Amino acid sequence: MKINIYYGGRGLLDDPTLYVLNKMEEVLKELRVTVERINIYEHKNEIATLPQTMKDADGIILATTVEWLGIGGYMQQFLDACWLYGDKEKIKVTYMQPIVMSTTYGEREGEMTLANAWEILGGLPCAGLCGYVEDLVTFEMNEDYTVIIEKKAENLYRTISQKIKNLPTSNQAVKRSISRTPQLELTPQESEQLSKYVSDDSYVKKQKEDIEELASMFKDMLGKNPQPQDAFMKDFQRHFTPQHDFAARYLFMIDGMKEPLFIAVKDDKLEISYGKQENIDVIAKLSDQVLESIVEGRMTFQRAFMTGEMTAKGNFKTLRMLDTMFNFV
C-alpha cells in the first residue's frame, strides 16, 4: 500500500500540521505502508503537474494549516490542478483523508472544504482530523492528542485496505446533475503533457508573446485599409471653403486607423495627409463612425464636440472654424 501526503502549508517550524503528519507517518510505516510526502510549497512553479504523482497511490492525505483564513493558496492551487489536469478515473478510486490544523479560527471549515472538494472531484473522502493549537509544546506533550492522531492513521489504513464504502452524498449528485463546468476531453497522457506545459514558465511566456504578436499583426492589417482614409481626404478637399487671413493646423486621432489625419489650412491653400505632424493648433479625437457622420452632413464638428463624441484640446476658436471651412451640410 502507498499513501501520498500533500502538505499545503508554508513549512514553518512551529506548524502543528507538521507534527501531526510526522506522527501519522510513524504509524503508517509501522503498518508497512509506503509513505511519500510532497510539500507543495517546494513545487510552487509546477503545481499543475502534481496530480500526476498520485498515479500509484492507494490513498492520499491532504494536509494544510489555517493561519488566518481558509486552506491556503498552495492547497487551493493543487485542487484546481486536480480539477483541470488530474486523471478523473484515478481520483474516483482514491481515498483522501483531510488534515487541517489551525492557529486561528476555521479548522472545521477547512476540513469540510477539502472533503467537499474531493467529493466534487469524484474521489472517496475518509474521516479527517482537525484541531486548534494555541501552544505547540503543550499540544505535543499531551498523550491523549497523540493517541487520537495515531487512531486516525490506523483508520485510514483500515479504510483503504478494506475498501470501505461511503453513503451517497449531495456533492456527488450535484456534480452529476448540475455542475457543467466545461472541461477538455483529454486522455490521462494528454492531461499530463498539458499540465507540464502549463507549469513551464518559458513555454507560457512564449505562448503569450506569440498571441500578442498575432494580435498586433491583425490590428495592423485592419488599420491599413486605405479606402476610408482616401474617402475622408476627398471629402475634405471637395468641401473646403477658403478663409482669408486664416491659418491653422489640425490633427485628428481617429479610432480604428493607424495614422492620424493631418489638415493644414492657410488662406486658400489646403494640405491634407495621414501621419504625425508637429506644431498642431487643435488635436481632436473621435471614432471613424463619427467622422463619417460629419462628412456625410448628419453632424457638425461643433455638435460632436458638445455631445462628447469628439474630444479636443487646443485653441477652441480655431476648432469652431472647422464647420466654417468645411461645410458638409
What is the Cα–Cα distance from 243 to 312, expressed in whole angstroms?
22
Measure Cα distances from 246 to 9, 57, 250, 270, 308 in Å.
Answer: 74, 85, 13, 11, 27
Model confidence over 116-165: pLDDT tens digits? 999 999 999 999 999 999 999 999 999 999 999 999 999 999 999 999 98
Q: For 221-258, b where at least 16 C-beta lie within 10 A, e where not — what string?
A: eeeeeeeebeebeebbeeebeeeeeeebbbbbebeebe
Question: Does the pLDDT at position 167 exceed 60?
Answer: yes
Predicted local distance difference test score (pLDDT) of residue 179: 53
- In the chain, where do the E strands start and end? 2-7, 34-39, 59-66, 95-102, 124-125, 129-132, 247-255, 261-266, 269-274, 282-287, 310-314
Measure Cα distances from 178 to 10, 118, 119 in Å.
Answer: 35, 17, 14
Model confidence over 278-322: pLDDT tens digits? 899 999 999 988 998 999 999 999 999 988 899 999 888 899 999
Fold of 2-199: Rossmann fold (3.40.50)
Model confidence over 179-238: pLDDT tens digits? 555 555 666 666 666 666 666 667 667 777 778 777 767 766 655 444 455 668 888 998
Per domain, the residue ranges of the chain are 2-199, 226-325
Provide the sign of the torsion angle of the four alpha carbons 27, 44, 78, 54, taken in this order: negative
Measure Cα distances from 89 to 75, 94, 253 in Å.
Answer: 21, 9, 57
Measure Cα distances from 176 to 112, 119, 251, 324 in Å.
Answer: 20, 11, 60, 70
List the one residue out of 39, 21, 30 whose CA is nearest residue 1: 30
- List all residues 6 or more positions away from 250 whose beta carbon is below 8 Å from its beta carbon: 262, 263, 264, 265, 280, 281, 282, 283, 284, 318, 322
What is the Cα–Cα distance from 258 to 278, expressed in whole angstroms?
17
Question: Does the pLDDT at position 65 exceed 80?
Answer: yes
CATH value of 226-325 in 3.20.20.70, 3.40.50.2300, 3.30.70.260, 3.30.1050.10: 3.30.1050.10
Provide the percentage of residues in the chain whose pLDDT is more than 70: 85
Are 267 and 273 in contact by the 8 Å Cβ rule? The answer is no
Provide the percentage of residues in the chain whose pLDDT is more than 90: 61
What is the Cα–Cα distance from 139 to 145, expressed in whole angstroms?
7
pTM above 0.75, yes or no: no
Q: Give the cell for residue 157.
A: 489504513
